[in-house]
Amino acid sequence: MKRRDFIQKTTLVAAGASMVSLASCGASEEGASKAAQVQETVKKVFTPFELPPLPYAYEALEPMIDTQTMTIHHDKHHAGYVKKLNAALEGHPLAGDDLQTLLSSVTDEDSDTGVRNNAGGHYNHSLFWNVMSPGGASAPQGELADAINAQFNSLESFQETFAKAAATVFGSGWAWLCVNEKNELFVTATPNQDNPLMKNISDNLGRPILGIDVWEHAYYLNYQNRRTDYIDSFMKLINWDTVAANLKA
Ligand code: MN3
């Protein structure tokens, strides 16, 4: 069996196994399925990389996020990262690694810049689409609720911390809810398309389970300079079932 086939087969088995365990602990099938889509994307090797379809209609997040923003953001911006990532990997020593491995391997050397920016862009947006509604729990439940309470005392206090991290990103970037090696939650932010999985680049390392894009292209058509209004809307769109499933993935 070729390595690539092996990786894809083992990923499918792993995704199937995690859905079984999720069903038995009460997370929704919808959340599990979206988390499995994210896992499928992040474990995929360079064959080349492909743009995953938006997991709902372009207009599904109206009026919080408008149809035109979603269309341009997915079909132009995310598509652009995938295209440029494939180009950057041509002849690059990291070609052949899955997306998650690319993120943990890239350095701040000039020779890695294309892979760093575009592997980050591909990963970050693949997660972003799936952590937004329609559908799904409007508040965290079960283990995720416990983990949030343990780390932030309450959901409100988490929301405040996360919204502040998103509002204070200078220029373009992302705010994240991550899980660290000790299985504790933390909030952090990264500039540009960097990601907390980038071991050689990020200060706060962890695996993101929720992320908000605060590049202006994510909100400017509808909100112009009112980033905090966009953040408030995003908080109402979070699909907590997917976040819970991401925590267990
Ligand atoms: Mn974006």
Helix axis angle for 29-43 and 3-25, nearest 10°, is 160
pLDDT tens digits, the chain, 249 residues: what are they?
Answer: 333 433 343 333 333 334 434 333 345 788 888 888 888 777 766 668 999 999 999 999 999 999 999 999 999 999 999 999 999 999 999 999 999 999 999 999 999 999 999 999 999 999 999 999 887 668 999 999 999 999 999 999 999 999 999 999 999 999 999 999 999 999 999 999 999 999 999 999 999 999 999 999 999 999 999 999 999 999 999 999 999 999 998
Q: For residue 230, how far is its CA from the centre of ligand 1 (angstroms)? A: 13
Instruction: Extract the tokens encoding 210.
Output: 């929720």
- pTM for this entry: 0.84
Distance 86 CA to ligand 1 centre (A): 18
Q: For residue 217, report the distance from its CA to the centre of ligand 1, in Å.
A: 6
Query: How far apart are the CA of 131 and the centre of ligand 1, in A?
Result: 14
**Ligand 1 centroid – CA 73 distance (Å):** 6
CA nearest neighbour of 172 among 206, 230, 130, 218: 218
So what's the pLDDT on residue 41? 78
The CA 53 to ligand 1 mean position distance, Å, reads 15
Distance 35 CA to ligand 1 centre (A): 19
Distance 3 CA to ligand 1 centre (A): 32
Q: How much distance in Å is there from the Cα of 244 to the middle of ligand 1?
A: 23
The predicted pLDDT at position 168 comes to: 97
Residue 231: what pLDDT?
Answer: 97
Å from CA of 185 to ligand 1 middle: 24
195 CA from centroid of ligand 1 (Å):
13
CA of 49 to the centre of ligand 1 (A): 18
Cross-strand pairs, 177: 187, 210
3-state secondary structure the chain: CCHHHHHHHHHHHHHHHHHHHHHHHCCCHHHHHHHHHHHHHHHCCCCCCCCCCCCCCCCCCCCCCCHHHHHHHHHHHHHHHHHHHHHHHCCCCCCCCCHHHHHHHCCCCHHHHHHHHHHHHHHHHHHHHHCECCCCCCCCCHHHHHHHHHHHCCHHHHHHHHHHHHHCCCCCEEEEEEECCCCCEEEEEEECCCCCCCCCCCCCCCEEEEEEECCHHHCHHHHCCCHHHHHHHHHHHECHHHHHHHHHC
